[in-house]
Amino acid sequence: MSFSVASAVRPLGDGTYTASLPAEWTVGPKPHGGFLLALVARAAVDSARAAVPGADDLAPLAVSSQFLRAPEVGPALVRTHVRKAGRTATVVTSTLEQRGRSCVEASVTVGRLPTAPPDYADLPEMPAAPPADAIDLASMGAGGVYKLGAVCDVRLDQKGAGFLNGRVGDPLVLRLWARPLGERPDPYFALVAGDITMPVTFNLGRFGWSPTVQLTALLRADPAPGWLRVRVSCSAVHGQWFDEDAVVIDSTGRLVCQARQLALTPAT
């Protein structure tokens, strides 16, 4: 199932949308966090377009989300409320619910993505395409854990990913390349890319479920066709709490997404 089809939302006419959380867009048994972020952002943008007539070119600019509980694969509702409608920025709250319980709550700032070249950008250096020996994450989906690898092309740079060889102590920095299968990346897929990596704490030997608690993503441009380059890093691990910063760059070298999350790593 393509990303655009899988993440579609269907309006009911009162700011409420129906959605389906497909089994293909999961890690383990649970829907992928970046996919959920894209889904609530789609509903928010559609709601903003209804509130700002003639604004068909609106897109998410910022998505700040709280992950309250992990939803299950299957049907879900997204409830939106326009908090402010403006010519430059519209603010919409967007909540994904399942079985009457809130799972993801987000505040989405909606506007028009810049199209002019940036006046300043300080970005990590990464090649536009993955190296020949990059690991296809579809091959790491043993037991059906990483189902995302069947619907996205995701490659991991072996350099610095010491956990691949049982090594502990590498810096908590990973480099990946990602693109959806069968279509070009868009701003919503850039949200997925900002959360597409395995936890950087794998390099500490901490494996297992690492749930996101809070994630904020900034969209900076509409991605060009081709690979999205993703650099993920961590500043600190305190007990089970750790941060993860992702910088997403498109095939032309332009910044398209920045994401920062607070997450929990398995106890040692």
User: Which domains does the chain possess?
Assistant: 1-112 (2.40.160.210), 131-268 (2.40.160.210)
Rounded Cα distance between 205 and 169, Å, is 8
Whether the CA torsion 106, 82, 20, 9 is positive or negative: it is: negative
pLDDT, position 6: 95
Rounded Cα distance between 153 and 236, Å, is 29
Which residue bears the tokens 């393509």? Answer: 2
Closest CA to 245 of 257, 256, 226, 258: 258
Backbone angles phi, psi at 52, to 5 degrees: -125, 90
The enclosing H or E element of 152 equals strand 152-156
pLDDT, position 142: 46
Residue 193 structure tokens:
């890319």
Q: Is 99 left (phi over 0), alpha (psi -120 to 50) or beta?
A: left
Rounded Cα distance between 69 and 84, Å, is 27
pLDDT, position 143: 47
Q: Is 224 helix (H, G, I), strand (E, B) or coil?
A: coil
Residues 6+ apart with CB under 8 A from 189: 3, 38, 180, 223, 228
Strand partners, 59: 111
> Per residue of the chain (268 residues), what is the pLDDT tens digit?
799 999 999 999 899 999 999 999 998 889 999 999 999 999 999 999 999 887 889 999 999 999 999 999 999 999 999 999 998 999 999 999 999 999 999 999 999 999 999 999 999 999 999 999 999 988 765 446 778 878 899 999 999 999 998 889 899 999 999 999 999 999 999 999 999 999 999 999 998 889 999 999 999 999 999 999 999 999 999 999 999 999 999 999 999 999 999 999 988 7
Rounded Cα distance between 24 and 144, Å, is 10
154 and 228 in contact (C-beta within 8 Å)? no
Rounded Cα distance between 20 and 187, Å, is 20
Residues across the chain: 268
The enclosing H or E element of 63 equals strand 59-67
pTM of the model: 0.95
> What is the secondary structure of 97-132 as a DSSP string?
EETTEEEEEEEEEEE----SPPS--------SS--T
Rounded Cα distance between 152 and 23, Å, is 14
